[in-house]
A and B are shown apart, each in its own frame.
Chain A
Amino acid sequence: MTDTFTDDLAAHLQARRDEVAAATTPPTLDALFDRPTPLTTVASAGHRRRNATIALAAAAVMLLVVGVLALTRDGSQRVSTLPAGQVRRLAGAGTPFLLPPGDDAKVEFNAIPEASREIVFPTAVNGTLETLVSGAAGDTARLLTLAAAGPRDDTMMDPFSSLRRSDMFDPAVWFDRLDTTLEASGDQTWSDPTGSIPGSDRAVLVTEPDRPSILAIQRGTLRIALFGNGLTDTELISVAASLQFSDAAGGVTFGDVPDGLVPLVPRSTRPPAFGTGYSARSKAASIGVAAVDDAAFDAAMAVHSTGAFAPRWTVLRGGPDWVLQLVDFPRNSVGVRDGGWVSLHLPKGGGVDGPVALAAFDMIRVVDIDTFGAALGSGTVAREAQVRNDTEKTVDRIEDWGGWLPRLPAGYDLEDYSLIGSNPPTIGGLDGLVPLWAPATGATLGVGDAPSEDVERQGPPTQRSVRLETAVLGGRETELRSWPMAPDDVYAVFDDGEGQRVQTVGSGLTVDQVRAYVDSIRRLDDGTWSATPPPGFEPIPLARPADAAATRDVTDRNGGIDGAELNFSIPDSPERVAVDVHEPDLTVAADMIAQFFSTGPVERMTTGNVTWYRLRSTFLDQHRVAIPGTTTRPTVIVASSALTDDQLFEIASSLRQASDAEVEQVFAPLLDG
């Protein structure tokens, strides 16, 4: 192949791509989410929680149109959309899904639902959810949800992360910031009703005009959120005051609730890690169904949703087979039908008033249940084959990376894994400056790009930064700002002289340290920058001078998968230990260690000739240990709530190159299961 041919090919393909791109207009985010259930097979690898404070930027009406048909297993694979194993034949074989309303629309779905790997909850949820509802037909529904979770497990989502709102109080963040005094912003009002809630250690009631209030409660390591629609704050506190605490899983249940409130669907604890999802859709309409016994999370997500609006629902039909229609998006309705939790998204242009929507809802037919069940069964087999296939590929990757695995005592079994990747923790900034660390305090300091003002304005009020003062530092006009979530972490924002806004990034700094550092930043003749580190600061391990252009480019390149997180069980403990192993590479090591340093105050330790680093989250009571990698050894980070630093270091330092057979043996529980 000649270079000319490939050059021409590349130029041609890029031109075609750019031609299409230029002629394309992105829909608004609301429009994006106000569309039928997607069919795309999602990427299954590379998921990992990295950042607890991520601004979800838009409405998630999509949650209304996603469903899961969960499986009821009784030895052989058997599927039922009805509770307690009842299967009711609703129509003859081969009948397609019909979704009228009347003559206005008739949409044919595939006779056999397509297997979908859409996963509502891509990993296990550590917590419980229960949603109560009341209201007669025609009323606005009153809704109340109790979400509860125990200590955070880094490998699991909590129910709050699924319900967090981009533009209002986020209980997940509040629970994570017990060491910080948060302040309300915008029109929010905060109060501390702890004294009104027996058994609570700490509580906050957040109210905002035209929004449902949220009451977050902490009791030991139990984290609870109460929120709903149509309840007064007094009622919310009254419900909280009657909560029943226990040592059982979930740890809390409703006591007294306002008259009429009954469960929308049964309370649910941890759902399956992977729900094999099935949905049917046409061009403009979609239906999703979940077995009602497993639908608490689907129901709570649907009726409360996330995003930039406060969902209100009209009761189309009262319980026990509730049907609710979204007031602001009446093409969406949810409810219980034939033992399934149904999300219905009607076609555009069709009638969407209450009677039509209810008729459409009731005409959903889970037809040809045997064929449907068979399809689901084969879909499950396909899903399991996919999981196995993914696992085998991961084994291959680990072998390709050199087979690095920890040596663990007997009883530590691999429970699950995820593929992980690294990216520079700071994007952009000023060429030449080195990210800094103060070993005595764990404080960190660096410079990165500031988000554009437009992006800031899109953010939720609780996450918009506040300008404290303006000063001239280093000859540049500089704003000193802080975030409502971390008011003590003052940072400086200024222009680099070429129109790029940059800011200091760090934690544990005093205002004077930030001022002095920014005042010392100078541009050198070669275009790079230099600065005087505050006393006691030194470059973080493996730190390199910033390469602003390269990191600004990072969104245009694939950071890629460069490691695996392996989660092992711990004997006689419900907790687990997570072992992140990244391929031997200095850039990867630098990025991972920089990221480690950005997650909390780090201490440097030395054992023998090994230098390692540790940090601890007091609230999570989680210890983390990192050993930086080299060109020949992987970077390893080990975390657990149940083990001591010494135990974690022992695991981290036990990393050795296992044979292919040993790697496969470690993965055997997943491959054989």
Chain B
Amino acid sequence: MRSTFADVYAAQYRRTVGLAALLVDDVETAEEITQDAFVALHRNWVHVTDPIAYLRRSVVNGGRDVQRRRAVRRRTEDRELLADDASLDVNHLDDVLRTLPDRQRAAIVLRYCEGLGDADIAEALGVRQPTVRTLVRRGLAQLRTQVER
């Protein structure tokens, strides 16, 4: 028996916010992305075969949109990273994670936080599996280099 929307909402909301926060740094934006994702999921509920995968992809896309808008603001306003406004505490590993390109960062988070395989990450990011392996390899290399610096 398929779960109801309310089931998925109750079971996945917090975890999805946590995932989104790793992609966009601040909890408020993470909640916004998560809520958008659930609203979209509700609207498409009858079509969605795998609600979790749908949420994951929505959150990754939402995170990417946020980062893109932030990048525009950084260029035009020459301000500090919006990440500096983050409501999360930060440490060195988080700082380094923020330096990764969006897709590398998402791939790392999905692999090492969510424990997903190549196929699932590829689906979430909308890329092919070999690309996932490349993103993870490069992301890890950069993380390690900077952390050990």
A residues with CB within 8 A of B: 1, 5-6, 9-10, 12-14, 16-24, 26-27, 29, 32-33, 35, 38-43, 45-51, 54-58, 60, 62-63, 66, 118, 120, 122-123, 157, 161, 390, 393, 396, 400, 420-423, 426-427, 448-449, 451, 455, 458-459, 505, 555-561
Contact = CB atoms under 8 A, between A and B. Distances in A.
B107 interface: no
Contacts of B7: 451, 455
B10 to A, nearest CB: 7
A49 B2 CA distance: 12
A16 B112 CA distance: 12
A40 B62 contact: yes
A10 B6 CA distance: 29
A40 B21 contact: no
A226 B2 CA distance: 29
11 contacts: A6-B140, A13-B22, A16-B22, A21-B14, A26-B13, A26-B14, A38-B36, A41-B58, A54-B46, A558-B116, A559-B53
A18 B18 contact: yes
Interface residues of B, number: 72
Interface of B: 1-15, 17-19, 21-22, 27, 30-31, 33, 35-40, 42-54, 56-59, 61-62, 64-65, 88, 93-94, 108-109, 112-113, 115-116, 119-120, 123-124, 126, 128-129, 140-141, 143-144, 147
Sort A-B residue pairs by CB-CB distance and give the 10 closest, nearest first: A38-B36, A40-B36, A17-B18, A47-B47, A13-B113, A43-B57, A57-B6, A21-B14, A21-B18, A26-B13
Given A26-B14, A57-B6, 9 more contacts: A17-B113, A38-B39, A41-B64, A50-B49, A57-B4, A62-B42, A393-B126, A427-B1, A559-B50
A123 B116 CA distance: 29
Nearest to B55: A43
A122 B12 CA distance: 24
A448 B1 contact: yes
B18 A39 contact: no
A58 B6 contact: yes
Contacts of B48: 46-47
Contacts of B30: 20
Contact of B61 (A17, A19, A41, A451): A41
A12 B89 CA distance: 13
Contact of B120 (A48, A51, A157, A558): A558
Contacts of B47: 47-49, 122-123, 157
A41 B46 contact: no
B45 to A, nearest CB: 6
Contact of A26 (B9, B33, B57, B116): B9
A589 B49 CA distance: 16
Contacts of A448: 1
A538 B12 CA distance: 37
Given A43-B57, A449-B1, A13 B109 contact: yes
Given A41-B58, A43-B57, A43-B61, A35 B35 contact: yes
Contacts of A557: 52, 120
A40 B37 contact: yes
A339 to B, nearest CB: 25
A41 B45 contact: no
B52 A17 contact: no
B123 A17 contact: no
Contacts of B147: 5
